[in-house]
Structure 1
């Protein structure tokens, strides 16, 4: 299967922006109203962060390929991605509410954590995946810093309750790894998958 566009099965505007940055044509392949996408992100007891993010991404890809087929869409490669934040073996997903976001930020304050983003693509029966593993260090956050950031609304819907490309950047003192991976779609790894599956862009 050689195509000049892909289906992006993600609601993240950041992933769309990153694909556009490297000139990849895509069409959105979003879940139906009756699909429970959030349920796919449940953490299994004792699950390691890298295993978790790969498993969730594979489940999202399975659901997206089935969605493409169910809708009778023109066949094309399907791309899925998932990002998680981890401090040791503790996984930080999207905050449930403002209080949960403040808790996460207090725990990340003054410490270095991992950001893992898995990317998976399927074209026909061929499937490929990759994982980006980066480190992010936060300066110590004052209670007033946390309160102001949570009140901005930016932490909601973000793994670890922050967006590296947003206001949180003023509190990040060091990054090691892939900036685009921390944003939610590591472009180096994604480009490798696109090439491996014959996508022209």
Structure 2
């Protein structure tokens, strides 16, 4: 089996890859995350850029990069810069459906594979007090859209259509299929 490298220090992605049974190294890719006006293109490009940046130093390995964007209407909600921006994002999401798109890129000696998955999430209506209390936990500060579906942020999720793991940061089934074929 080839060496697998995760080009991210995301605890959620580490958890999902481990759950899928893969052994891997974590080599973070420190890139500037610039958003394009098209969310799918943004997620796919950033995933590839993360994977490629690490792969340049580990060409013998298989490198996985991923990026998740939260989209409300046509607006991409990235990681909040501060608590005030987190509050603003969560107020926008309150009571509404939004898309979560995770792009994944796998680069290996067997080839390059880039794909994405989309899930829809509906938040319940939240009071300003609910939002402020959540932001004070610190959880939203390094998450796209200012929430973690697998954490305290789950209290706001009313419904989900699609792969829960896509929202968490790595579409489990699609990723497993690609890695299984590339690593064997």
| TM-score, length of structure 2 as denominator length | 0.95
| 1:24-35 to 2 correspondences below 5 Å | 24-31=22-29
5+ long unaligned stretches in structure 1: 70-74
> For 1:165-176, what aligned pairs fall within 5 Å after superposition?
165-176=150-161
SS in 1 for 2:56: helix
SS of the residue aligned with 1:192? Answer: helix
Tell me the residue number matched to 1:111.
96
1:52 is matched with which residue?
A: 42
CA deviation map 1:75-98 (0-9, x unaligned) = 221111110000121101100000
Match of 2:35? 43
Q: 1:81-160 maps to which residues of 2 (within 5 A)? A: 81-124=66-109, 126-160=111-145
Verify the 8 A CA contact 1:8 1:78 in the aligned structure 2. Answer: yes
CA distance in 2, matches of 1:99, 1:117: 25
Q: Deviations over 1:38-81 (max 9, x none)?
A: x1x1123xx21111111111111221111325xxxxx2211111
Residues 120 and 129, structure 1, Cα contact 8 Å, conserved in 2: yes
RMSD: 1.3
Distance 1:195 1:84 in 2: 25
Distance, in Å, in 1 between the alignment partners of 2:180 and 2:108 is 12
Name the residue aligned to 1:8. Answer: 6
1:6·1:76 contact (CA, 8 Å) conserved in 2?
yes
Bigger Rg, structure 1 or 2: 1
Aligned length: 184
Is residue 5–residue 24 contact of structure 1 (8 Å, CA) maintained in 2?
A: no
* Superposition misfits of 4+ residues, deviation over 4 angstroms: none
1:188 maps to 173
- TM-score w.r.t. the length of structure 1 is 0.88
Q: Contact 2:47–2:103 at 8 Å: present in 1 too? A: yes
